[in-house]
Structure 1
Amino acid sequence: MLTEPFLTTRVENDRDIPLLCWRAERPLLMISSGPLGGGIGPRNWLINATVPMSYHRDDPDAHLAELADRLGLAGPGVGLLTGVDVAEVVRRVDAGVRVWATVGLGTPIRAAEPSLDAEVPGLSPAGPAPERVGTVNIVAFVPARLSDAALVNAVATATEAKAQALADLGLDATGTPTDSVTICCPADGPVSAYGGPRSRWGAPLARAVHAAVLAGGAAPVVPWSERREP
């Protein structure tokens, strides 16, 4: 089981910066596109850390590992970054599937464009600082063991549901340049082979992601660094 996240802060450059932390009661199987702990495998914890819009570190994995160490998190885990104040996390539950989303839609893009020769603005550890929050981080817990293939399918399902929410918000976009998805499930038990939007677990996952992104996207989001600059 994945615990509800707790909100805490860490001190960087003499400022208290928020982050969310989830702990697993026992190692969970996770699939993630996060800069720390990405891929598929057993993970013990997950953090979603706010960073200022001036963030320029080119080693986000090392940074996130440092934050995890400060929290005393042991073993492998997943780390995510966002310019959104993670205190604004939106939670939705559907048929036992739990979803948490931090939603910043300041840099909406369509995934397929005629040309991507020019650098797309967005929250990028190695790129220039953007002016608007543009990251959607989705974390989901499915209370049944999913096969590796079902986990991959569940990521696609969550992404499709996010894109549907953006369309319902009136955005001609499929996401932002730096979105991340993490799906967690028990590491043992009977295996479910499917994670598509009409499957036993994919359907409530899609509904919960859609509801969370829709709610988060409907609220105005100001970059944390703009709101909290002294």
Structure 2
Amino acid sequence: MAASLNLQEGQSSTRPPRFNGRFYSWWKVRMHDFLMDEDKNDGEKTMLVPKPRQKYDEVDRKKIERGYQAKTLIVCGIGPDEFNRVSAYEFAKEIWDCLKTTHEGTEQVKESKIDMLTSLCENFKIKEGETFYEMFTKFSSITNELRSLGEPISMSKQVRKVLQILPKSWESKVDVITEAKDLKVLTIDSLIGNLKTHELNRNHDLSKKEVKKDKSLMLK
């Protein structure tokens, strides 16, 4: 059975995450963290040295070496199609920028994506019969994409949005959360956990009522 997303390879703290041409935003965030972790472990940030090669000192050579290591890690995290796009580039940043432009587009395209995702977020609603897990997965996909494009939605706005889209039957629960919690510091994960617990309890109570109803009908 095929794995979901692009989780076929690279699920290791010692190997770069694998990009198969899909879900670029997911890969970009993970690869960025992976490269930053490598830099942290080495104690130095990767950067180019703007001076003639004959004037390089030991520190410059180490930075150049780290640059090629970063290039190797990125190349190891992409497939053959993506490699063909970047094979002519010498530096890690050139490869990174090429992949970013290819999959996120130019600044104009990026702005259009941000506008579209912002609109999706503002008009987001929970569907009939949809569980909170399903709703939260879709909502997170939008907010994470916006964050990867440099337009993060604040935690408090996410919390308020989720509370706004809850069905009318959840009005009493929304009131309880609003009164008991400081929405400015409440995390979206805490909110969803709270709502999922309430959902489970509601479903359990409904199941018990159905059982009692069935028993009552049988007795009649």
- Pick the TM interval, shorter chain: under 0.3
Task: Compare relative contact order (CA 8 Å, sep 6+) and give the higher one, 1 or 2.
Answer: 1
- Greater fraction strand: 1
Question: Is the radius of gyration larger for structure 1 or structure 2?
Answer: 2
Query: TM-score, normalized by length of structure 2?
Result: 0.22
Which is richer in helix? 2
